[in-house]
Structure 1
């Protein structure tokens, strides 16, 4: 290992020398030059090792990065020492994630580790045999994970007592709110402290529209709107594509379709009001733009967002708006299965070396160098270190800034940007304290018995849901039509099946059934 470490050090000395020499005669980005010259400075033995080693394919959702190839190569050199394996990062962009993931799974494409979550059809993919059981692998190769994760988190992420995904070690409470342009709010002297609920945004947005008509007050899109589950504490009791909800901040265990929850109806009408007043982007029902890109465009004042300590600062780094963003929470902190299974890494059933895949996940939970390499890139190129765990941006930061810290293993070993609060991780731990616990914590609905009805409901949702929740259509007219189509598709049968399973879960675990 010492020999390889020295080789890698000498390799980077050569790379940096090449950067210096090449920069004198070209105006290309330094990291572009590194990508082109990297292999030329590897010794023949290192190149043979990389060529012959097994490639671990890591798949996650995000925005492809310009210097991804460079980071892959450095990660591969490091993993050769640790696992005798190299790494291939496969990033599927947000707009095509569902479709691309489904194709990869259906075609039995070979890959090893993949991001999965309750809101990304985790239980459905498990039922398809897409992911392997991890309990034995976790016991053999994931002892560091077991030691660092709260046992409740691992247990409540299980399906019938089996872990098919390893949760990211991060904050586990959920809270919704907005991230907004603090600099614009200060310029217009807006009282952002007055915002306690979604309805309180009305006078803020009216002022933005009046004083800065070129700025749209709120950017929304599919899944990121006033009726998003994190904004309203909806608990889907499993996959959010399967209807049937309770409220995390209520005691009732009665499962309902969303259209029978008054909070949901109120927000449909509020979204419609905001849309008609020009507070919401006109293309809300069709846009594929990322919320971070919307902020970076300087065309929007705010976005809806899951809120946690330092969220605005994180987005500030990603968008080039460091120091210009603020955040406001507008609901109660809560904890449900959607949080314990909201960000996980699974191992594909097509992996040829699942033991290596589990060891990779274990490293992402424990190895400070590898974790931060994948999250922030290479020191001296994509960031500079100010201290052991504090980093600052460089001119090349934008070439590798994936913003997926919450997906990859363990946030508590992430570096901090110098624009972030040095107490961020302590705040994360405190944030999870005092959260209201959903009556459904630990329960995941098995939809196998109603899979035909679920498929029919999903098709109806595609026709109506985005337009309704974005405010693009009048709920007075469209909601009754949507409800009728859902009932024809079999939503009542799904609700009954989910209620039956949920009641059995509550009784088995000694919990009370609460009606309204």
Structure 2
């Protein structure tokens, strides 16, 4: 396997050398520009706390275990060995990664492991997994990093938060078991989020449609009908991720990890929205969505696999990879079209369904918390600090080893080896500060991230997090009710005229209105404290 990998890299490097020789004989090459932001004085560690200072390196090596999701890694031995060697004279740790995929079971495993008090030092956490950040902080699962009695951030990560987007730092503050403070390190990626329609323009143009024809969800019928007629009965033109599609159709965002509550925002200017929380499934907007989606489902526009949480993801990905769709859903990632178009062999356009927003959900979209079960929280934080300030370390963890997993194309661009990437492909946005990395050739420049973040607008409830503890019994029961009905309804697989009333009746019987009242009570309290 490895000998074949090296032959592939050798070929890649030979091609790159030839390209550079030809370029040297032609026009002068522009000087390369580093994509790594300069470190401000406030973000520079003092010598007494610098984890990279040899004189401060602990004599005893410890193992730091980190559990993440979203990755495709089956062989990390070479990378971990190189990282251990690199860190030997910095913080002297051995890193052990526990790589999870996007499977629901891997997401649940984070919570199961935390609850069990497993000897794991760092956990991925966020606003949308079962081990939701604020809930875990309240439960005492994560170490408070800015505890006034033992401020680990000041000791081991000085200036780190000053180098982040201000809304990331703001959203990291939450009410936890050790008081209001910071319980996880956000990863610096896109701060906002934008719901977009994933358009297969190659196919849409074939049937005479332009980007301007794609307006809003409730008017897709004629477009989907024409594509379906042309492509055949086994073709599903609407590549649905139903829960996302509902938010796109109705301009709302998550308030809680289980999607029971929603914040509806102005699609043009989210900052001007009314600061109120609604029970998603009790709204007339949800009923309207269900009826239209049922119409699309019966017409054969939506793959029946979308109605099952276990089959939806694989079916959606397969349709994307095969370019077997006309319109899909996507929570936009800046520059995504640079990657997906070439990969699918089509022209891909991401058309915004609404303006981009910065919400608590998006700003807490990717974080890493240190477990209170960790025996070495100081060393764990030293590692996270280095990961977010040392481009070489992050490049090794994110891309692998130069000459094995990737080759340099220029000072700030790399070409990844497809064979090596097949066994080592971490989810970069779940790890650390993305702008430290050299770009993959053909990827959007990191300035696209900055422009995207500047264009997104904060919602009036940015920073608010609902604490379900006062209504925990009702909330737990409601989650089970949602699981019984919501998948099928949001995919259009069942008749909303009969199933939605049953769903609403069960929600009300199990305390939905009490949970909603508690959420808005907390919101009013939060607003008064701002």
- TM-score, normalization: structure 1? 0.81
CA deviation map 1:47-93 (0-9, x unaligned)? xxxxx832221211114323333333332332334321121221222
1:166 match = 185
Contact 1:292 1:315 in 2 (8 A): no
Asked if the contact 1:231–1:331 (Cα under 8 Å) also holds between the matched residues in 2, the reply is no
Corresponding position: 1:374 with 2:402: no
Matched, 1:157 2:172: yes
- Whether 2:240 is the aligned partner of 1:220: answer yes
Counterpart CA distance in 1 for 2:250 and 2:420 is 35
Contact 1:310 1:420 in 2 (8 A): yes
Cα distance in 1 for partners of 2:88, 2:193 equals: 38
Partner of 1:94: 102
SS in 2 for 1:481: helix
* 1:337 CA displacement: 1.0
Look up the SS of the partner of 2:198 in the other structure. strand
Q: Which digits, 9 at most, give the CA deviation of each residue in 1:313-353, with x for residues without a partner? A: 34457xx4366533221112111111211111111122111
**443, 453, 456: which one pairs with 2:464?**
443
Task: Describe the SS at the equivalent of 2:277.
Answer: coil
CA distance in 2, matches of 1:245, 1:254: 9
Determine the structure 2 residue equivalent to 1:389. Answer: 412
Return the alpha-carbon distance in structure 2 between the equivalents of residues 434 and 82 of structure 1. Answer: 38
Unmatched 5+ stretches in structure 2: 11-59, 267-271
Q: CA deviation at 1:146?
A: 2.0
State yes or no: 1:126 paired with 2:137.
yes
Which residue of 1 is the match for residue 92 of structure 2? 84
SS of 1:82 mapped into structure 2: coil
Write the deviation string for residues 435-494 of structure 1: whole angstroms up to 9, x where unpaired.
Answer: 333121111111111111110001111101111111111212111111110111111111
Counterparts of 1:492 and 1:346, CA distance in 2: 33
Q: Work out which of the residue numbers 349, 354, 357 in structure 2 matches 1:334.
A: 357
State the Cα deviation string for residues 349-394 of structure 1 (Å, max 9, x = none).
2211111211222122122122222222222222221112212233
Residues 255-295 of structure 1: per-residue CA shift (max 9 Å, x gap): 22013444333322222222112111111122153444442
Q: Aligned equivalents of 1:418 and 1:448: distance in 2? A: 47
Contact 1:169 1:411 in 2 (8 A): yes
Q: For 1:79-478, what aligned pairs fall within 5 Å after superposition?
A: 79-95=87-103, 96-120=105-129, 121-135=132-146, 136-160=151-175, 161-213=180-232, 214-221=234-241, 223=243, 225-228=244-247, 232-237=250-255, 239-241=256-258, 243-249=260-266, 251-286=273-308, 287=311, 289-290=313-314, 291-315=316-340, 320-321=343-344, 324-400=347-423, 402=425, 404-421=427-444, 424-478=445-499
The alignment's TM-score, normalised by the length of structure 2, stands at 0.79
Alignment of 1:36-51 (within 5 A): none
The CA deviation at 1:175 is: 0.8
| Secondary structure, counterpart of 1:105 in structure 2 | helix
Structure 2 counterpart of 1:8: none
Distance in structure 1 (CA, Å) of the matches to 2:518 and 2:81: 49
Deviation at 1:401, TM superposition (A): 5.7
**Counterpart Cα distance in 2 of 1:281 and 1:416:** 35
**Match in the other structure for 2:526:** 505
Give the structure 2 partner of residue 71 of structure 1: 79
**Helix, strand or coil for the counterpart of 2:414?**
strand
The answer (yes or no) to whether the contact 2:466–2:522 under 8 Å persists in 1 is: yes
What are the ranges of 5 or more consecutive residues in structure 1 without an aligned counterpart? 1-14, 24-51, 510-516
The answer to whether the 8 Å contact 2:259/2:280 transfers is: no
Equivalent-residue separation in structure 2 for 1:293 and 1:76 (angstroms): 37
- How far apart, CA to CA, are the structure 2 residues paired with 1:488 and 1:453? 10
CA contact (8 A) 2:323 2:346 kept: no
Partner of 2:404, secondary structure, is coil
The number of residue pairs the alignment matches comes to 459
Is the Cα contact below 8 Å between 1:389 and 1:415 reproduced in 2?
yes
Aligned equivalent of 2:508, options 466, 469, 487: 487
Name the CA distance, whole Å, in 2 between partners of 1:81 and 1:314.
Answer: 37
Please give the secondary structure, in 1, of the residue aligned with 2:330.
strand
In structure 1, C-alpha distance between the alignment counterparts of 2:124 and 2:117, rounded to whole Å: 16
SS of the aligned residue for 1:162 comes to: strand
Displacement, 1:144? 4.3
Deviation at 1:19, TM superposition (A): 4.9
User: Following the alignment from structure 1 to structure 2, what is the Cα–Cα distance between the partners of residues 196 and 138?
Assistant: 47
Please tell me the root mean square deviation across aligned C-alpha atoms, in Å. Answer: 2.7
1:59 aligns with 2:83: no
